[in-house]
Amino acid sequence: MLSFWETLTKNSDLFIPGFLSTIYLFIIAAIGSLVLGTALAAMRVSPVPAMRAFGASYVNVIRNTPLTLVFVFLVFATPKLDVAFPSTFGQNGFFTIAYSALTIYTSAFVCEVVRSGVNTVSPGQSEAARAIGMTFGQVLGLIVMPQAFRAIVPPLSSVMIALLKNTTIAGGFSVLESAAIRQNISERGGDQIHTILWTLIFFLILITPLVALQRAMERRWAVSR
């Protein structure tokens, strides 16, 4: 048991930055994917054919592309296109690439979840809103989206949990996050099993509040409906 704790305490210079990087990646990518995913969902239900086509194409391409390939493209292809990712949040450019890749990928799944919520709203409400002169943007923002988000709490929470776990891919692209800790401790001759167990505990600590928040929101909005 002592050696188990020593794995954490003696390597705190790796665990703390690695765990913080994972949290930062998750928060930034979660916010970005919610914004971009909602915008894409609005495009998919838009009355403008070009916007619907763009939204559908984005979702179909990204959802059928492995996340690792998104990382590979941003890391290796963008420099050849003279696209440079600046350092942000005190991290190197690879950190910027990591949350950009996670946002691009996750937003496609958020889009489909939000679109499914939009489809649960009765068309009669949209028609009534348009009949009194409301624009498409007003109908979507004031009538449809508030009801849609209440219906998508469980699937959206699942997407966010998947995003949290997907942050581990960044460890393979020069980002020191939780999944990359094991390799660094291995170079120090540390216990690999203990490192993996600490990483597992860390993810459980992060996922548990997300599940609790999901259940609380479901109970609250179930009463509202």
In a domain, 199, yes or no: no
pTM reported for the whole predicted model: 0.82
In a domain, 144, yes or no: yes
In a domain, 140, yes or no: yes
Whether pLDDT at 184 is above 80:
no
Q: Which range marks the domain in which residue 165 is found?
A: 19-178
In a domain, 73, yes or no: yes
Please list, residue by residue across 197-218, b when 16 or more beta carbons sit within 10 angstroms of its beta carbon and e when fewer do.
ebbeebbeebeeebeeebeebe
Report which of residues 59 and 217 the model is more confident about. Answer: 59
Q: What is the mean pLDDT of residues 96-113?
A: 92
CA atoms of 34 and 140, how far apart (whole Å): 16
pLDDT band at 223 (very low <50, low <70, confident <90, very high): very low
Report which of residues 134 and 29 the model is more confident about. Answer: 29
Whether pLDDT at 81 is above 90:
no
Report which of residues 176 and 68 the model is more confident about. Answer: 68
In a domain, 159, yes or no: yes
Token pair 């991290």 is found at 91
Counting residues of the chain whose pLDDT is more than 70, the rounded percentage is 84
State the amino acid at position 120 in one-letter form: T
In a domain, 117, yes or no: yes
In a domain, 3, yes or no: no
Are 106 and 141 within 8 A, CB to CB?
Answer: no
Task: Give the residue among 62, 104, 71 at the shortest CA–CA distance from 177.
Answer: 71
Q: How far is CA 37 from the centre of its chain?
A: 10
In a domain, 79, yes or no: yes
Q: What are phi and psi of 134, to 5 degrees?
A: -75, 145
CATH of residue 64's domain is: 1.10.3720.10
Q: What sign for the dihedral angle of Cα 19, 23, 24, 29? A: positive
In the predicted model, what is the mean pLDDT of the chain?
81
DSSP secondary structure letter of residue 111: H
Give the count of domains, the chain: 1
